[in-house]
Amino acid sequence: MFARTPDVPARPEPGTVTLRATDLTVRRGERTVLEDVDFRVAAGEIVALVGPNGAGKSSLLAALAGELEPTSGTVKLEGHALSHWTHADMARRRAVLPQSHTVGFPFTAREVVAMGRAPWLHTPAADRDDELIAAALAATDVTHLAARTFPALSGGERARVALARVLAQDTATLLLDEPTAALDIGHQEAVLRLAADRAAEGAAVVVVVHDLGVAAAYADRVTVLDEGRVAADGPPREVLTRDLLTKIYRHPVDVFDHPVTGLQLVLPDRTRP
């Protein structure tokens, strides 16, 4: 699965673009799921991908990860086209959290997390395997589940174990597809703080979210997708506006500041005529 080379990549400097898509178009059969998309994420920032169902968020994440072949355009990881890298090269530079968390065999939770260390086999970084696995289990609050089989866990527990695998992989770029979808509010906030901590430590983080308030609170930049195109990109306060979101989501949206914290809140307008 992985080419065994001694490559241990240096971490990109803060502000360095680690992943970039240019003029990216993806078609599935007769359907265009992404069209002329430009996207970038830099070391030290969180970029939230938002948009209605079917807007192309997960497709863009899959294309960035090298798991979905573009029809045209380019994706570059750390300055090189994805075709430049072996599977091991990519796995040592970016980690991917998919929407679904399935494992075909009854591995324990710890064994699933340890899979994140597979790309580092036969490299000097393998010396830290046990340390990073333990840290990832603790960070996602699943240490007590380490000996349980993955299929026996609840949906939320599986989601946290899957995130622990991504954290244990210890890459400079993280691609997270709806990491909070199956979680209660406490674990949602814990996961988002983990993403923020990784960005503060210098990682580039791309996260697909549906909660626009989460995007406003945690993202440095927000990319809004609609019908496979980028509708807006920039800081949350510039992008998450009432007019744009009402248009994109085809439903009235309110955007205002929390009266105590001052944080930007985004909520559907539930007033009745």
pLDDT tens for 46-58 read 999 999 999 999 9
Q: Are 77 and 92 in contact (CB under 8 A)?
A: no
**pLDDT for the residue numbered 8:** 82
Residues of the chain with pLDDT under 50: 1-4
Strands 31-42 and 17-28: antiparallel
**pLDDT for the residue numbered 73:** 98
**pLDDT for the residue numbered 105:** 84
**pLDDT for the residue numbered 1:** 45
CATH class of 16-93+171-268: alpha beta
Domain ranges of the chain: 16-93+171-268, 102-170
- What residue spans of 82-149 are helical by DSSP H? 87-91, 109-114, 129-139
What are the tens digits of pLDDT across the range 140-184? 999 999 999 999 999 999 999 999 999 999 999 999 999 998 899
Residue type, 183: L
**pLDDT for the residue numbered 174:** 99
**pLDDT for the residue numbered 6:** 55
- Exposed e or buried b per residue across 32-60, where buried means at least 16 C-beta atoms within 10 angstroms of its C-beta: bbbbebebbbbbbbbbbbbbbeebbbbbb
Tokens (6 digits) for 80: 């090189």
